[in-house]
Structure 1
């Protein structure tokens, strides 16, 4: 059901058939039926929600919020049909490529660069700008012109492996793999203090922080409406006097999931300004200017090929590991960095990145990055 409340605003009421669907999916569905002759994309709906141009029950929210019966989404019709801004090439962006074939590109994303711009930040330098500069034919791949070929995200301060689709077929297949949680993601994180156990899991639903739109929080006592299940596995691979180095595997893909989950245990990621207390940061002589979270490995099957990609730890991360107490290494997992995907020997050595591709049992590995 929908109600027109002005020439510029439309209110859409969620029917029973769309209950528990994502907000962007529900709004896209309702608008397609209301405006069948207009060209709409789900990506444009997602972007408008992120830009706070679509609200739910009078409040700002996120695209993957699950809607309930009779929820009302208010849509700015004027913004809906305002053409998306066009990305302009940016020649001075240098992004290391780990691997490339006819269907995907895999990069080692540097810290400090966003994946894609918001409409109001169209001129900033992002991975999306690099894509259309180096691969102009990728314009139009995917659901959103501001995110050509982009199927997943890393936070601005997070470095590491990122896969980009080169075709519509690979875009759709990769999106489906992420949605089905069929892609294995491994991160490296340096956290304050020592984990209570050397290996464990964090199973706590996440919900957007009531006071700050950019923050998320865990819910442990009860699960309120809008909370999303979230599961994170971790393993201590090196223990220092005041820190633990972790291998972290998120089994769900919530925004800020690793950061919020680790902070909820009292072990926030070193350098995380959003989820670390000021007192803890002030007392840290090794404090990093960015959060020390690195997307270390990505594994998935696509079009009958098995892909494994590893990205080396960036210099700033390695520098911190060299500076902190080198003596106490209780709990260190000496085998972790010996994996086939990385070929490295330890967290304080220059960790190599390798692309490994298996097709029909034949090793098609094409490139190793040092």
Structure 2
């Protein structure tokens, strides 16, 4: 910090030697005069106040701070007074940014039960600022946000007895009531002449061998987006000889929520069939996802639809799938018993890593082990006791052996030649691709609900899967 006695800026090179000598002479003359007059007070040492030498220069300065007490840090060219520095001076470094407070945790309600068809809950304080559709999708993870919006749009979600909009921002503490289940709009499906392979048929029901690539049903949008589905083909083949149907009540293993039609392709909790709503899901009792082939049951009348739905819901039948998985499974057989719930990050996936999921049991048995030029694979048959969404795919991935072609759960899109010992990399010119899941609903055993006949229905592997196995086995 500069001394208070320093000359102002621009004057510091000016010599004060002459002024100093003149002042010293004056002081010495005054001391001599006092001595001659007989004033012999205490002897004092001559001192010189340099401020007296500077005062003339300061008064002549044009600085706006010349008459203000305090340190002058700059001259007349716009310097700052120290009393102003705390408001005008720019800090040398930006202030450190504080870390953002973590977002409050929203607790999921896995066991929210309906009373007289109405589910009641109170919004948490942590929900303040959240949209109501986002909050409900968070606390009820088994209901997608699209279905929550459907509930809200139909007036089935109320706060203090009043219907709300999906964009409503919560304040926390609101009493929320949800009445019933989402009421899906009727499909706009039309009959289409699409070939179907019928494995079994009588006056009450039919069993179809669905190919991979065919959706069971589409959504409730425009008709141009609802073509090429199993429903279109069934309407053409059976016409009016179909159950009016309702939403599929059996939560079949392969009901994959498609990325664009997530709300229409989610599996729902297995439960007794509700009263059929005409035109919603003609004849559909359970589902297989688009890229899975195999046996699927269709009801031809409402009575059979209800009985089959109850059979699937109670698991009073036997379903066996064939799957090819990556890697060599060490044991010859085993059971995976891990609860399954929806992935909260990627809603089209399911996971075994969350607590509070629904119980799921899959029994697998090795049919063949393949040690090929493309690596090791295992062909297994899987019998499922429960029918959770993506059950086989999630369970096989959970033990480190994803289903071949199942890109959603970690299988590679391309399978290169395996790296041999002593080589740096495999031959990238030879790769295999399978644009579907190597998963096939091969066996279905059930008792006919009306006649009591024991039905044992079988479906061989489709050509694209047997061809893929042949390519794997080539040296």
Give TM class, smaller chain: 0.5 to 0.7
Distance 1:134 1:323 in 2: 36
Deviations 1:243-279 (A, max 9, x none): 111111111001110001101111111111101254x
**Residues 299-318 of structure 1 correspond to what in structure 2 (within 5 A)?**
299-301=445-447, 302-303=449-450, 304-318=452-466
Structure index of larger Rg: 2
Corresponding residue number in structure 2 for 1:224:
355
Q: Does the CA-based 8 Å contact 1:107-1:163 persist in structure 2? A: yes
Measured on the aligned residues, the alpha-carbon RMSD in Å equals 3.2
Deviations 1:71-118 (A, max 9, x none): 9x9532179788524321112x11111110111101110000011111
SS in 1 for 2:117: helix
Corresponding residue number in structure 1 for 2:331:
197
Question: Residue 57 of structure 1: CA displacement?
Answer: 2.0
2:216 is aligned with 1:115: yes
Instruction: State which of 251, 260, 263 in structure 1 corresponds to 2:385.
Output: 251
Q: Does the CA-based 8 Å contact 2:201-2:207 persist in structure 1? A: yes
SS in 2 for 1:274: helix
Deviations 1:199-240 (A, max 9, x none): 000001111112111001113xxx624x11111000000111
Corresponding residue number in structure 1 for 2:154:
77
Q: 1:56 to 1:305 in 2, by over 3 A?
A: farther
Q: 1:56 to 1:141 in 2, by over 3 A?
A: farther
Distance 1:27 1:291 in 2: 41
**Residues 130-209 of structure 1 correspond to what in structure 2 (within 5 A)?**
130-138=233-241, 141-144=244-247, 145-209=279-343
Q: Does the CA-based 8 Å contact 2:334-2:364 persist in structure 1? A: yes
Instruction: State which of 129, 138, 152 in structure 1 corresponds to 2:232.
Output: 129
Q: 1:121 to 1:115 in 2, by over 3 A?
A: farther
**Residues 330-369 of structure 1 correspond to what in structure 2 (within 5 A)?**
none
Q: 1:134 to 1:211 in 2, by over 3 A?
A: same
Query: What stretches of structure 1 move > 6 A for 4+ residues in a row?
Result: 53-56, 78-82
Q: Does the CA-based 8 Å contact 2:370-2:377 persist in structure 1? A: yes
Distance 1:234 1:96 in 2: 28
SS in 2 for 1:137: coil
Q: 1:192 to 1:252 in 2, by over 3 A?
A: same
Instruction: State which of 276, 285, 298 in structure 1 corresponds to 2:410.
Output: 276
Q: Does the CA-based 8 Å contact 2:405-2:411 persist in structure 1? A: no
- Number of residue-to-residue matches in the alignment: 274
SS in 1 for 2:432: coil
List alignment gaps of at least 5 residues for structure 1.
Answer: 1-17, 32-52, 65-70, 328-370
Corresponding residue number in structure 2 for 1:353:
none
More strand by share: 1
Q: Does the CA-based 8 Å contact 1:116-1:146 persist in structure 2? A: no
Distance 1:162 1:57 in 2: 33
Q: 1:267 to 1:28 in 2, by over 3 A?
A: farther
What TM-score results when the alignment is normalised by the length of structure 2? 0.53
Distance 1:127 1:61 in 2: 29
Distance 2:185 2:321 in 1: 37
Q: 1:62 to 1:148 in 2, by over 3 A?
A: farther
Distance 1:74 1:82 in 2: 9
Distance 1:323 1:162 in 2: 28
Instruction: State which of 355, 361, 364 in structure 2 corresponds to 1:234.
Output: 364
SS in 1 for 2:409: coil
Q: Does the CA-based 8 Å contact 1:131-1:138 persist in structure 2? A: no
Instruction: State which of 442, 445, 453 in structure 2 corresponds to 1:296.
Output: 442
SS in 2 for 1:164: strand
What TM-score results when the alignment is normalised by the length of structure 1? 0.67
Q: 1:287 to 1:164 in 2, by over 3 A?
A: same
Distance 1:27 1:325 in 2: 58
Q: 1:173 to 1:267 in 2, by over 3 A?
A: same
2:200 is aligned with 1:99: yes
Distance 2:409 2:414 in 1: 11
SS in 2 for 1:316: helix
Q: 1:281 to 1:267 in 2, by over 3 A?
A: farther
2:400 is aligned with 1:266: yes
Q: Does the CA-based 8 Å contact 1:58-1:74 persist in structure 2? A: no
